[in-house]
Amino acid sequence: MATPSSPPPRTEKPPFWRDPAKRALLFQALMLAGLFAVIGFIVNNTLTNLDARGITTGFGFLDNTAGFGIVQSLIDYTPQSTYGRTFLVGLLNTLLVSALGIMLATVLGFLMGIARLSPNWLLSRLASAYVEIFRNIPLLLQIFFWYFAVLRSLPSPRQSMSIGEVAFLNVRGLVVPDPVGGPGFGWTLVALAVAVVASIVLVRFNRRRHEATGVRLPAGWISLGLIIGLPALVFVGSGMPLTWDVPKLTGFNFSGGITVLPELLALWLALSIYTGAFIAEIVRSGIQAVSHGQTEAARALSLSGGMTLRLVVIPQAMRVIIPPLTSQYLNLIKNSSLATAIGYPDLVSVFAGTTLNQTGQAIEVIMMTMAVYLTLSLLVSMFMNWFNARMALVER
């Protein structure tokens, strides 16, 4: 007959300084208190020094009149505008050159990355030379090269290089025709938006249909025809309400049209070519990461080289390409701050430069500028992470 065992002896709780969990909490609390104390000391010391020098703090200076002009503005701006509007002008100019740079660098990087693996000896060597040359030269030096050695050495407006007698390139930049929409042109833009939305719906429907039935429509060609054809039909049907303001040489400069500053051109080219060299290597490594058996299987199904690359290799390589590609996009956005070296009016130049010098509000101006780049980087990272998740393999 089993006898009930005696209860285990009660163990006394150790003091808290011998409990690892409680000891860790204590040290973390002390560390947090020390951190807040250091931050408080820095803030108090800064405010004391600013007060001693008679420098006011706060963001009230954003409502003051700037008093200086900006050579390029995507919104209405005059020297009588406020510093707050100066901030917006610089932000939009930064977004413009960053977006243009990302688009061109992506196209250039993918073309060169694929060309590096081409069986064509000359094409492969040219792509290799592009990568080795441009990724090993400092970006600032490349900006100076495009600005001072290329664009600043162009002829004067009277001796401009003509492109079909409608666009002109000279030392003051690239002058292109300005589209002027007439009454009813808005319907063409509406048709374009409808065509884009319809194309997205068609691509999604085609993907689901292909997964369910194995039947695939030429959705790419249909979408291309829809995006071009529908706005063209509406444009012709509405009487072609669009005219072009072609630039004309009057006196010592051109009148009419749109002038793209040489500073913008130089910065755009340098950022795109420099970042494109890194993207080319990312694309090459991504393609080589795909098993060669996938290519052999595609060839066994009689797929052409282009279809094998587009339908088999690139979709699988994108899962390897996207994470490092995100880092290159972030680098391009941050490198756009080098625009101040050639006078392009980006955020750093007009806000963290001219505005800071005029107002003396160093803390507020630098904090706002840092917050902009931090926000842009986080937004790009969030979008690319979402896109990476969409491209990830779905296991069943």
DSSP bridge pairs for 170: 173
For residues 275 and 103, the answer to whether their CB atoms sit within 8 Å is no
Helix axes 185-213, 219-237, angle to 10 degrees: 160
For residues 64 and 82, the answer to whether their CB atoms sit within 8 Å is yes
- Tens digits of per-residue pLDDT, 323-350? 999 999 999 999 999 998 998 999 999 9
Q: Which DSSP letter does residue 10 get? A: P
DSSP assignment of 94-112, as one string? HHHHHHHHHHHHHHHHHHH
Instruction: Provide CB contacts within 8 A for 254, sequence distance 6+.
Output: 157, 160, 168, 175, 247, 248
Rounded to the nearest 5 percent, the helix, strand and coil shares of the chain are 70, 10, 25
Half-sphere CA count of 287, side-chain side, radius 13 A: 22
What 3-state DSSP class applies to 183? Answer: coil
- Tens digits of per-residue pLDDT, 109-148? 999 999 998 889 999 999 999 999 999 999 999 999 999 9
Which of 167, 221, 171 is CA-nearest to residue 199? 221
Centre a 10 Å sphere on the Cβ of residue 70 and count the other Cβ atoms it contains: 19
Which of 342, 200, 328 is CA-nearest to residue 275? 328
What is the distance between the alpha carbons of residues 353 and 365, in angstroms, rounded to a whole number?
A: 9
Query: With respect to CATH, is domain 83-177+260-391 assigned 3.20.20.370?
Result: no
Structure tokens that stand for 222 in this block: 């249909």
pLDDT tens digit at each of 396 positions of the chain = 445 556 666 666 777 777 888 888 999 999 999 999 999 999 888 888 877 877 777 888 889 998 898 888 889 999 999 999 999 999 999 999 999 999 999 999 999 999 998 889 999 999 999 999 999 999 999 999 999 999 888 888 888 888 888 888 888 888 888 888 888 888 899 999 999 999 989 888 888 887 788 777 788 888 888 889 988 998 888 888 888 888 888 877 888 888 888 999 999 999 999 999 999 999 999 999 888 888 888 888 878 877 888 788 888 888 889 999 999 999 999 999 999 899 899 999 999 999 999 988 888 899 999 999 999 999 999 999 998 888 776 555
> Looking up tokens 């930064």, which residue turns up?
94
Instruction: Please give the pLDDT value at position 8.
Output: 62
DSSP assignment of 15-26, as one string? PGGG-HHHHHHH
The helix/strand count (H/E) of the chain reads as 13, 8
What is the distance between the alpha carbons of residues 90 and 395, in angstroms, rounded to a whole number?
A: 46
Which of 331, 267, 314 is CA-nearest to residue 96? 267
Instruction: Please give the pLDDT value at position 392.
Output: 72
Instruction: Please give the pLDDT value at position 1.
Output: 46
Taking CB atoms within 8 Å and a gap of at least 24, the contacts of 205-208 are none
Record the pTM: 0.80
E-state strands within the chain: 161-163, 167-170, 173-176, 178-181, 242-245, 248-250, 253-255, 258-260
Instruction: Please give the pLDDT value at position 108.
Output: 95
